[in-house]
Chain A
Amino acid sequence: MLRQVEGSKAVADAVAACSPEVICAYPISPQTHIVEGLSALVKDGSLKNCEFINVESEFAAMSVAIGASATGARTYTATASQGLLYMVEAVYNASGLGLPIVMTVANRAIGGPINIWNDHSDSMSQRDCGWLQLYAENNQEAVDLHIQAFRIAEEMSIPVMVCMDGFILTHAYEQVDIPTREEVEAFLPPFTPRQHLDPADPVSIGAMVGPESFTEVKYLAHQRMIDSLRKVQEVADDFERHFGRKTGGQLRSYRTEGADTIVLALGSIIGTLKDVVDELQLDGHSIGLVGLTSFRPFPFHALAEALKGAKRVVILEKAFSTGTGGIVTSDVVRAIEGMGIKDFTVIAGLGGRPITIASLREYLTNAMQENVERLTFLDLETETIEKELSKERALR
């Protein structure tokens, strides 16, 4: 049933429909409404057989999740920004132990300077942590990705981050269909852990692994991550069979047929970019769009396939590696190696700066002529920058 509802509330209801047994969270903007919603559902009894733990930090949130998941409970938490960084040690531990925890990251910038608004620097900082990362384009996809995430995580024994743009999605009211618990149950079987803490069959989990085995343990994790690529697609296809919606999966192409220029992006900006592509095509430009849903695992083959025939790809990123440039770009470049496709990167929307259609049109019009630098910061106030730089250089 379609409901006009806030993104966070929709996600809370979707997570509840997945019948988690342990939810633990520490509040941080813009994640708060999700866990507030879930705490109410547990408190009023509509989410049964579930423990909601108010912890004293994000580090504890992920740690509680680790203990719960290792005991065989379906476990959920949510965070953002500084909170994600504060739990990083446990984030790596969860994937290292192969615990299928699902976590929402309500994407927000990382300080300093402190900034509560949206970009992707938080989840991108966790690129290599061994978790899957799925990015939602809109609130319907955010809802659907959470339901898919539990199934992917539990079938692969890998934790999954569902990344949704803070405020832009979490606080936006949209029409969303939230499946009922019965509908979800038909899609998502009960959690059967591969291994769990059980006095009847005691195992030691988390032993110290030395140089003689560490590489093999890490290689197996690498292989499992690669194998999960197929699972991401499989689960999205099965989701479509159950719910009639094409959401999730590895990536989705939009009007890329015969396009010379293809823009690639993640998250909610895809919606804006679809409008820009529509406008530019109306003006006779040869341009299309690829929305990347699965950043980890990275769909190298599917992306090469999606970009085949294009002359150039423009990667729009809401985060970057200081002193280097695009983060997603480095993977894209590997995917298109030897295909003769030129790559351009545009960094946009940092710390919540609005990405306007006008700015995108101007930038893309130039990019289609290859009349841009390989790395561009959209709407950069060059005058301010020049003034600051000349002052700094004078001091050196």
Chain B
Amino acid sequence: MDHQAAQERFSSYRDQELGPEETRSVEEHLQTCRACRRQYADFQETVASLGTLPPAGPPANFAEGVFERVRKRSHGRLFSQRRRGMAVPLEWLSLIMLVAVVAIYLLFRLSSPFGLFSK
């Protein structure tokens, strides 16, 4: 394995993503090549330093901002309020339907002796 081939594999080698054969080739090259060994040490240091970058945190009122946007987007109605708003009329609707069905049944029974069945 030449210098370029070895260096092209630094990233996968570092993450242990190479197959056993390629891993061995890279290791053999690094053992015999001082320049690439130096390059690899720098490479490793670079990747390690990326990991030390402190995470950037959101501002304190971040979540509040999210909720405000959602509220604005949904025209003031919030989350389950929309569902609750639907649930009440549905219950009323089912009650009204029930009453209507009973009323029609009674009406039919009452009217039938003088209507359809009297003939």
**A and B together in one complex:** no
